[in-house]
Amino acid sequence: MKKLILATLVGSLALTACSKPAEEATDAAVAAQEAANEAQVAAAAAPADATAQQAADVAQAAADTASNAAAEAQIAGDGTVAKQAEATAENAQDAAEAAADAANAAADGTVVTTVPVQTTTNN
């Protein structure tokens, strides 16, 4: 399960491009942290469930990635680097949300099937 969660995180961090990079990246970072918080609550509800704990750790790592990317987008301002940082933050948000779902499912004792995240790059 840990490998599946980590594969989801890595797959979700592929770059995409959008508009208003710094603002969008910040929004993604906030949403990623909310998902990580949700995963931590689920993991706390099932302290003996290693999968829930691992999913919560992955969610927090994704939220940290989103936060770092948002900071990079703020520094970059606009342009390609900012758009790539924004895309990283948004994909990290997706990964954090998927990990939160996995933590909730593990805490609930249900099986989760993950669907690969497809990303695109706009140049």
Residue 65 and residue 1 in contact, taking contact as beta carbons nearer than 8 Å: no
Q: Which residues of 7-30 are buried (b: 16+ CB within 10 A; e: fewer)?
A: ebbebbbebbbeeebbebbbbbbb
Rounded CA gap, 103 and 63, in Å? 15
At residue 36, the pLDDT reads: 96
pTM > 0.85:
no
56-60, 74-78, 80-84, 88-92: least confident range: 74-78
Per domain, the residue ranges of the chain are: 19-108
Taking only the tens place, the pLDDT of each residue in 16-38 is: 444 599 999 999 999 999 999 99
Quote the CA–CA distance of 38 and 86 in Å, as a whole number.
22
Residues 69-82: what's their mean pLDDT? 93
Q: Is 82 helix (H, G, I), strand (E, B) or coil?
A: helix
Contact 3, 58 (CB under 8 A): no
pLDDT tens-digit readout, 83-106: 999 999 999 999 999 999 999 999
